[in-house]
Amino acid sequence: MKILEILGYKVHQIISNIVDLVFFIVTVLRRGFSYLHKNKGNALVKDAIVREIIFDGVDSLISTVLLLSVIIGFGVTAQIIILLQNIGSETEVINFLIRYVAFDLSPLMTAIIVIGRSGSAIAIQTGIMSINQEIKSLELLDIDALVFFAFPSLIGKTISQICLSCYFSVLSIAFGILFASIFDSAFNLKYFSVLINSIEPMELFYFLIKNMLFGMIISANASFHGLHVQHSVTEVPQRTQKAIMHSIFSVFIISALFVL
């Protein structure tokens, strides 16, 4: 009986967290776009969005995404090409590369990079601001923290997730084909032209939607938990850990739903 109570409590907690997060995302988007509509000449929020995109989508491109795409290209893509073409047809190799490497593995790896690199940073930053009463001070000045902090992060990380995932997909496939042609056969270079012509528009649409959800979930979890730090500095690492774990859990669940 106690097991059922614990299970019911966990399920209730998960559903409650999902509802709170969805409500938070809707509130942030509503307030953010409302502010932009009313203050078209004010560039503060737009500049903050650009800074978020540069921090997440540009600064991490060479340092992290390029390195990991080389590793995935050599360790996964090239091995798939070399092994599968010996036991399967060219069509099966192409379908596997597009569906599982480009459209499943790459967004997942990109999301983990964004969570580790900037999701935790946002949670810590907003958590410290909450402890130091900076958020309340801004609210007394009629400055909405959701508009000036959560909204730029939400939009910036969503755009960055989409862009980085595109980079990761292209580079991991390209490096994989290149390594396969070097270590196996030069005829593997044919996959460059074949893969481009094999991508379906609907698959590309699902790819963009998945990455958009990833970016929004990661940013919302970081901002939500950071802004809910209330009493002690010790809450900051606790909330940061929750933000990271909830983001990773959500990303894997969304990825699994798209596979189905």
Provide the percentage of residues in the chain whose pLDDT is more than 90: 27
Q: How confident is the model at residue 219 (pLDDT cuts 50, 70, 90)?
A: very high
Calculate the CA dihedral of residues 61, 45, 224, 248 and round it to 10 degrees.
-20
Give the domain range for residue 255: 2-259
As for how many domains the chain has, the answer is 1
Task: Give the chain's length.
Answer: 260
Is residue 176 within 8 A of residue 72, CB to CB? The reply is yes
CA distance 12 to 174: 45
The model's pTM is 0.89
pLDDT digits over 154-205, tens only?
999 999 999 999 999 999 999 999 998 888 888 888 888 888 888 888 989 9
Is residue 68 within 8 A of residue 168, CB to CB? The reply is yes
Q: What's the rounded mean pLDDT across residues 212-217?
A: 94
CA distance 119 to 240: 9
Provide the percentage of residues in the chain whose pLDDT is more than 70: 98
Is residue 73 within 8 A of residue 90, CB to CB? The reply is no
Q: What is the pLDDT of residue 212?
A: 94
Residues whose CB is less than 8 angstroms from the CB of residue 94 and which lie 6 or more positions away in sequence, other chains included: 191, 194, 195, 198
Q: What is the pLDDT of residue 61?
A: 67
pLDDT digits over 6-33, tens only?
777 777 777 888 888 899 999 999 999 9
